[in-house]
Amino acid sequence: MIIEKEKLHYVYQQILQWREKHIKEKNFILILSFVAGILTAFAGLILKWLIHAIQNFLTNNFDSTGANYLYLVYPVVGIFLAGLFVRKIVKDDIGHGVTKILYAISRRQSRIKPHNTWSSVVASSITIGFGGSVGAEAPIVLTGSAIGSNLGRLFKMEHKTLMLLVGCGAAGAVAGIFKAPIAGLVFTLEVLMIDLTMASLLPLMISCVTAAAVTYMFTGFEAMFKFHLDNAFVLERLPYVILLGIACGLLSLYFTRTMNFCENIFRKYSNPYTKLLIGGATLSILIFIFPPLYGEGYDTINLLLDGKGESDWLTTMNNSLFYGYPGLLLIYLLLIVLVKVFASSATNGGGGCGGIFAPSLFLGCILGFVFAHFSNGIEWTPVLPEKNFALLGMAGLMSGVMHAPLTGIFLIAELTGGYDMFFPLMVVSVCSYLTIIVFEPHSIYSMRLAKKGELLTHHKDKSVLILLSTDSVVETDFDTIKPDMDLGDVVKTISKSRRNLFPVVNNEGVLEGIVLLDDIRNIMFRPELYHRFKVSKFMTSPPARLNINLPMEEVMKIFDDTKAWNLPVVDDNNKYLGFVSKSKIFNSYRDILVKFSSE
């Protein structure tokens, strides 16, 4: 077995050497982006197939005219199985997929764990197939990013290239699962905040086009949702499009804050079975009352986008307690809008795995439909085609929740083939984004990292500081002295040192103070004083102590506040680790800025 491993390692090293010798770095990145596109597309196809297979098996014989009590059972079973899989097999947190990618880019040098290439696919297919009210897209984006990251690590690519490959994987995942190559590219630039340069554009495009092409081969060229433009956009509807955009922004705010509130409640409980009880019970009851909450909700979206009239729209009430009460359609849909966020939060909080792509599309579609249907009941308003406004609502909600108006515009256009609605899509997306940005400066994905100062953004200064870790600029060539040493011993240490600053460290390695050469210059040349003064008498306290785990942006603030040029670095137990100097930070900052900005 050991010999076999050695042979494999030898072959692996030979492959790496051959690649370095015969394939240029830029060309190899293009090859890896192509491979990432293929692999992410297959991952998306497998995930979708698993979800539909499970759903069809479980719900195929449901009675559409009445309540189905299995809705009370399936979601709990799904969350339980997914949670068990994560705890016993994966043994790692795989929730908040896009947030994990942002964190990996910002703090982990774009390294994503190998198990993320498959674990999210398994967990989310179980969760959603059994009725979890979340989407499959965020898990597949994490899967795609993990594929890109681990491809790069396999071939020993540098950090900057790993970041690009993470973006390629995410872009390919979005492009493949939605059949939306432009949206995949824009999503990576807007949400993951990968800077657009000529060096990054081509690999991202290759991944997007490749993933979309593979998906087309297996599922055909039809758009994901059926939409036919029966009523072209006219200018007199523009004020209503603006109002819908504002409504989408406000609903996005409600969705974001309510989800954070619910997550904080689940975070208080450490016992997974307590979370399962609360989340499973909440989800099951909500799905039993409102069956459209079961799974991703794409069947409801198709009904509202492609429905021909009241008879089609009323089928959204199938399997529910509301069946047979057509006058309650709008109230029924509005209640779904209000409780969807609780269903999604209960799914993930209870132990399931899923994202908010699908919930955003689902809520936006219903909001747009309700907005138009309600307006059409008012005599003095122009006729607003419900299906058109359902389409616009999807773009509005996605733009607001994700803080990504371009992604909302292009994704909905590609999802539905509604390119003729491009102008109103732009209006509703911008209005939604401008509304929510007043209240929430960060998206639901990035706000957790932004609060900790760990979010990589298009702001070059902040991005470089985030990429620059404290431990990478620590200098350890300072000669330490003991507090009980006398002046003579200190002079001997100074004679061998190239520094003018000396940390005072006790026998346990704890930093007690510092000695500056300038502070003892007036006595260090007087031998008669060498045995009279101990270090503890003339050492001073440093202006501040830097914890090794501090983000670099915080380190720079401390330097600015103290006006110091060198500051000691300690661990959580106050043990001395080294010094950080401004000059070292500036040099490292410049190196990273050059690499980060180069094309």
Mean pLDDT to the nearest integer, 314-325? 81
Question: Would you put residue 109 in left (φ > 0), alpha (ψ -120 to 50) or beta?
Answer: left
pLDDT at 342: 95
Strand ranges in 286-442 using DSSP code E only, listed in sequence order: none
546: pLDDT confidence band, cut at 50, 70 and 90?
Answer: confident
**518: pLDDT strictly greater than 60:** yes
Distance CA 260, CA 440 (A): 12
pLDDT at 126: 94
**Directed axis angle between helix 119-129 and helix 25-59, to 10°?**
20
Mean pLDDT to the nearest integer, 120-132? 92
> 274 is written with which tokens?
């307590």
> 432 is written with which tokens?
């939604």
Cβ contact 333:366 at 8 Å: yes
Of 7-11, 78-82, 208-212, 450-454, give the lowest mean pLDDT range: 450-454
HSE (side-chain half, CA atoms, 13 Å) at 286: 28
**101: pLDDT strictly greater than 80:** no
HSE (side-chain half, CA atoms, 13 Å) at 507: 2
> 571 is written with which tokens?
């661990």
Within 8 A by CB and 6+ apart from 147, the residues are: 36, 39, 40, 43, 117, 169
Distance CA 444, CA 101 (A): 13
The SS3 assignment for 319 reads coil
pLDDT at 209: 96
Residue that the structure tokens 């956009």 belong to? 233
HSE (side-chain half, CA atoms, 13 Å) at 588: 19
Distance CA 125, CA 82 (A): 9
Residue that the structure tokens 């900052």 belong to? 589
Distance CA 599, CA 595 (A): 9
Q: Residue 322: phi, psi to the nearest 5?
A: -90, -5
Mean pLDDT to the nearest integer, 142-171? 88
**493: pLDDT strictly greater than 80:** yes
CA dihedral 520, 521, 525, 527 (to 10 degrees): -10
Within 8 A by CB and 6+ apart from 330, the residues are: 370, 373, 374
Residue 532: CB atoms within 10 Å = 12
How deeply is 571 buried, as exposed, middle or buried, from its count of CB atoms within 10 A (0-12, 13-18, 19+)?
middle
Q: Residue 546: phi, psi to the nearest 5?
A: -100, 125
pLDDT at 450: 54
pLDDT at 241: 95
Please say whether the dihedral angle defined by the alpha carbons of residues 478, 482, 483 and 488, taken in this order, is positive or negative: negative
pLDDT at 599: 44
How deeply is 161 buried, as exposed, middle or buried, from its count of CB atoms within 10 A (0-12, 13-18, 19+)?
buried
Distance CA 308, CA 556 (A): 61
Cβ contact 375:315 at 8 Å: no
Cβ contact 248:360 at 8 Å: no
**106: pLDDT strictly greater than 70:** no
Of 26-30, 68-72, 263-267, 578-582, give the lowest mean pLDDT range: 68-72
pLDDT at 65: 60
What number of residues does the chain have?
599
Nearest to 131 by CA among 187, 196, 62: 62
pLDDT at 458: 46
Question: Would you put residue 586 in left (φ > 0), alpha (ψ -120 to 50) or beta?
Answer: alpha
Distance CA 393, CA 389 (A): 6
Nearest to 25 by CA among 157, 164, 194, 182: 157
Mean pLDDT score of the chain, rounded to an integer? 84
67: pLDDT confidence band, cut at 50, 70 and 90?
Answer: low
Mean pLDDT to the nearest integer, 527-541? 79
Give percent of the chain with pLDDT exceeding 70: 90
The SS3 assignment for 440 reads coil
Residue type for 495, please?
S
205: pLDDT confidence band, cut at 50, 70 and 90?
Answer: very high
Q: Residue 581 belongs to what H/E stretch?
A: strand 576-581
Mean pLDDT to the nearest integer, 392-407? 93
| pLDDT digit string, tens, across residues 41-53 | 999 999 999 999 9
Distance CA 311, CA 318 (A): 12
> 575 is written with which tokens?
């043990």
323: pLDDT confidence band, cut at 50, 70 and 90?
Answer: confident
**100: pLDDT strictly greater than 80:** no
pLDDT at 457: 46
| pLDDT digit string, tens, across residues 342-359 | 999 999 999 889 888 899
Nearest to 161 by CA among 302, 29, 311, 296: 29
Within 8 A by CB and 6+ apart from 71, the residues are: 131, 284, 287, 288, 291, 294, 319
pLDDT at 278: 93
**280: pLDDT strictly greater than 60:** yes
Q: Residue 567 belongs to what H/E stretch?
A: strand 566-570
Residue that the structure tokens 């005219």 belong to? 65
581: pLDDT confidence band, cut at 50, 70 and 90?
Answer: confident
What domains does the chain contain, in order, with CATH numbers?
A: 21-219 (1.10.3080.10), 235-457 (1.10.3080.10), 462-597 (3.10.580.10)
pLDDT at 334: 94
Distance CA 308, CA 166 (A): 42
> 555 is written with which tokens?
């380190």
| pLDDT digit string, tens, across residues 427-473 | 999 999 999 999 988 787 776 655 554 455 444 445 555 556 676 78
Mean pLDDT to the nearest integer, 121-136? 91
Across the strands, what pairs with 222? none
